[in-house]
Structure 1
């Protein structure tokens, strides 16, 4: 660690070595964000109590827990008379915490180290006032809900100006960009300081908060794995969706805002293949509905971004470069706030929140994350004994279980997060975890292959699989060693147990099997890592296994005699193998399987050619007959 790092409060992550933590100590009163608050609320200073300034992490958590309690209170007794008012107050509280969180991100994550400051003391009351004095006036003139039973339904209200008006008034740049620290109300009222434009989540969040404050209490924050939008129950009791976070300021972008999700897929072309029923971006109509104020709060905390500057994800290999820099105080705040929500049962239908808490614990472990808990029932172990796992791991397992049971197994990310966890743990010596990591990555591609492919719809998904393939190469199939003369070198992993190597090889086949199947279903060669010229192509990855291991793996996946295993995870005492590939290119006696069976793996275009489907063959025959 350099002396300059020590002065800036930077320290390396002791658990993974892949990130460095920044802990700024400069007084935030020097920050332009704090100065703007003081200037804006100068006339309130004499009225402010010292109790309204948060001076430490523990005090902030107490204030947060108090508000969670108030949001979580049962309002059933009040709904008839004051339900609208009570719900509006709750969403006003959400607006305040969106503002508080955004301020904390802004003061301690600037790319310029001289502009990063301590979070504390935190001017809590001044930040709450921003909602009253600067956000609520933006809603003036937007239609409010009427008590008249014949009033228009939520969709009509949004179409006639609600969603577009909230978007236009809360996003000064009139565009939505994928950028850091722009995911909430603070970016709306103070985005000009750092030239921030609301991101997709922030735009949808503000529309839903605004609509609920205006009395439209059916308006719900709705999330897929990579997108946010609005949904609501119309006056006929039918759930409708509404796209409110379309990027850009063109007439076409404006025309999509406020429209039903299904209609946004219609581009006038008869060739469109993706719709709301099969789109990954909308989770095939299995979205997460943040239908309570506390669940919206969980979404806000889960989206809190601790990165400093635009940089490579810690999931990727850094190629010897300096590890990414993240904010220590933000990580601690995010972790502990998520635990408060977890203890209240808020996250039990929310895989993303469970995953984010798990990732926080992986990097900054607390005593709760290091508790050993019984996961035997969750893992469906056949042995009848007790299987203990760290609470940190159980969070990832819970996310997978919720995705399977509540969201029809429509989510890819729970498998990726859990796979990354086991990959990191396996590099420290628990070899079976590397097998489990590959199994989870294979499960992720299985889920992805169930969607129709569209470049725009699946762009982020394909980036993740390219990253995962790189991680498989560098962290699982290779191992790093230190030499005093040559430094760090990467060599082919020498597996301690032969059966681990065989199982790993079968799951690598499983990983590619779903990607190959996806292409075959779409009759389109779109997967980047299947390209023979890719630096992490199949040939290069499988060459890291000896031919005898590959032959044993191929025998395993094609075997019809061995009994199945009902267990849901690989453990130290029990291996699971991938079986029964679905891709035609990995069928018994296929050219690709033959290539994988040779001493040197050489895969040519003929082995990777897309097999024709029955429909394609019939089309060709009809064309030939007409000619």
Structure 2
């Protein structure tokens, strides 16, 4: 990446009084634009959001819209619609006159708002007035999901902005007026403004959703309290100036059409994000790190940092600074692994995404974008993977991996918990059919390896362990003088108690321990291999102790003189006995820790938290899947415990669960088989459209 050197006495990059340094222009290439941003970010004066947004907005629209750009998009579509294409439009020349003229126009629009007195901070009324001015000058139309409307060039040249663009314009307008405490706040699908000395006060300055309902002036507290993903539980990205410049770069839209992108705009965006990365402005911005990872996946430009590392950094940023409340970093990573055909890693990443979404309560209108992402994973990507992996069904298939099945359950458990307490259900029959079909792909011997726990089970185990610890501590205090003897006697009692006394006990224990071959063939010895090993270990230890004692006695007798020799032999004998006890203890510990089944199977353990998935526990682990009961449980509307003023209707949920249990236990095997066929057929229908899914370029969404 090119650099620019300048003397300390050089003129600043820009001034926030309308005077833009003419020596920086014209900009004729990507290199020139990157140099402009570098000087803005490293200058003693804070970067001017208005000027930078106008510059990149002009370049973006020049390369992606207009007649020449449309012809380039048609050519890209005719050649290969899934590949990012360069276009025939030359890089636009950005002149000082163009930028200064639009900059002056923005100042004129904002002239009706009073400038602050020295050291005066912004108020809710001032910010509302700035947003009113911008809002009232827009063309009256909804621009939801329209491209190239997130920059100030679009606003100043055509009076068009989407909701993010309005938030950015409001922040830039407050900066231009001189209110330095106003900052942009960004969630994963929305933007607003924070202000005040500690940036704890917030205000809506735009709208969200398909319509253009006015939210301006409202506090975002109500959205946070509702548990909506749109506000990330109050853990959105609150930007400093460098991060606001990063937001301008992230907002660059590289699309030429629905199926082709402009390589020149993508290159500009990639180089600007690397500049911001190197200056440390992306450290607290997970979405920007994920976007840079996608750009690097398409076109590797950095030698030492891979796209996979960037995806991991995005997740680490979300965990470190936002308590893992951001969903998209995990989706970025899961989709990346899916494109690399690393399906095990993809399932784990998608399950991690579901673990984040379970923290929120589903809001139908506000959560539309993340709903579409999760629906795409559940009903398109996963069924396609299942269909691909089921052909041939090799030993290396993910369908022979219990951990993959556990992550599949964790993914659906997160979505079911997201649905709980929501006024709008999520899991209708369109979700249930692919879910049932995916589960049926795993054989019983794989499903049975997963250890499914419930929160109440874990609480009971913890309580029992705590009680046992207390009892052990009390016994230790009461019998402090006989600790060694008690330990030995307890081990003997444990060994005796583990010996099966009846055929039923022996049969039950066979599922957990390995039988001793000598016991089976000759009828003698210990019934289980580990008991035999334990007995042999004890015998060897006793032999070692006897040999040590005999050797010591012989030495003492042969010397026959002097108390020094006797004391030395006694010390030697005691040392050898200690070593023998230590060896015996190590052998016993090895026997106790050895669990061949745990080593062979590596059984994954998961905890189900949602009411729907907890009700499926027994059905999921049954040898023959009752697909009808599973589908009924998933789509039961009342199982999603709706709350009225915080009180759940638990009786209704219990009635539905009891009905499903009765169906599961009462149906014949014939009916179950018929239900399984129907559900499988339905799932196959869901995967039919998945044939078109291929590992092509990453898919990026813009607000």
| TM-score strictly above 0.5 | yes
Are residue 68 (structure 1) and residue 29 (structure 2) matched? Answer: no
* Deviation by residue 1:134-183 (Cα, 9 ceiling, x = unmatched): 33322222222222x6x574312123x222113323x2336543211111
The yes-or-no answer on 1:224 pairing with 2:187 is yes
Per the alignment, residue 219 of structure 2 pairs with: 260
Q: Quick check: 1:591–1:607 contact (8 Å CA) kept in 2? A: no
Deviation track 1:510-534 (CA, whole Å, cap 9, x = no partner) reads 1011122233x3166622xx33344
Give the secondary structure class of the aligned counterpart of 2:607. Answer: coil
**Given that residues 286 and 317 in structure 2 are in contact (C-alpha distance below 8 angstroms), is that contact kept between their aligned partners in structure 1?**
yes
1:522 aligns with 2:471: no
1:395 aligned onto 2:422: no
Q: Which residue of 1 aligns with 2:156?
A: 189
Is the Cα contact below 8 Å between 1:347 and 1:354 reproduced in 2?
Answer: yes
Q: Superposed, which structure 2 residues align to 1:161-560 within 5 Å?
A: 161-169=129-137, 171-173=138-140, 175-191=142-158, 197-233=160-196, 239-246=200-207, 253-254=213-214, 256-262=215-221, 265=222, 275-276=224-225, 278-292=227-241, 294-309=242-257, 311=258, 324-368=259-303, 371=304, 391-425=306-340, 427=341, 433-479=342-388, 491=391, 494=394, 496=396, 501-519=401-419, 521-522=420-421, 526-527=425-426, 530-534=427-431, 537-553=434-450
1:421 Cα deviation from its structure 2 partner = 0.9
CA drift at 1:493: 5.8
What TM-score does the superposition give when structure 1 sets the normalisation length? 0.67
Q: CA deviation at 1:278?
A: 2.1
Within 5 Å, give how 1:74-153 maps onto structure 2: 75=44, 86-87=45-46, 89=48, 91-106=50-65, 110=70, 113=73, 117-147=88-118, 153=122
Distance 2:145 2:640 in 1: 38
- With normalisation by structure 2, the TM-score equals 0.60
Separation in 1, partners of 2:256, 2:413? 37
Structure with the bigger percentage of helix? 2
Cα distance in 1 between the residues matched to 2:209 and 2:350: 34
The structure with more radius of gyration: 2
| Alpha carbons 2:611, 2:640 under 8 Å: kept | no
Per the TM alignment, residue 506 of structure 1 is displaced from its structure 2 partner at its CA by 1.1
Determine if contact 2:182/2:193 at 8 Å carries over to the other structure.
yes
Cα distance in structure 1, aligned partners of 2:281 and 2:602 = 34
Tell me, yes or no, if the aligned pair for 1:276 and 1:282 is still in contact at 8 Å: no
Work out whether residues 88 and 214 of structure 1, in 8 Å CA contact, stay in contact via their aligned partners in 2: no
Q: Which has the larger share of strand?
A: 1
Alignment gaps of 5+ in structure 2: 1-21, 76-86, 462-511, 513-600, 654-703
- Gaps of at least 5 residues in structure 1 are 1-47, 76-85, 266-273, 312-323, 372-389, 428-432, 481-489, 563-573, 622-627
CA contact 2:452–2:606 (8 Å) conserved in 1: no
Instruction: Give the superposed CA RMSD.
Output: 3.7
The answer (yes or no) to whether the contact 1:477–1:493 under 8 Å persists in 2 is: no
Given that residues 174 and 249 in structure 1 are in contact (C-alpha distance below 8 angstroms), is that contact kept between their aligned partners in structure 2?
no
Say if 2:452 and 2:607, in contact at 8 Å, map to a contact too: no
Q: Using the TM superposition, give the Cα deviation of residue 469 of structure 1 relative to its aligned residue in structure 2, in angstroms.
A: 1.2
Query: Residues 476, 346 of structure 1: CA spacing in aligned structure 2 closer, same or farther, 3 A cutoff?
Result: same
**In structure 1, what is the equivalent of residue 575 of structure 2?**
none
Per-residue CA deviations over 1:296-341 (Å, capped at 9, x if unaligned) read 11111112222223x3xxxxxxxxxxxx222222222221221111
Q: Is the 8 A contact 1:224 1:288 kept in 2?
A: yes
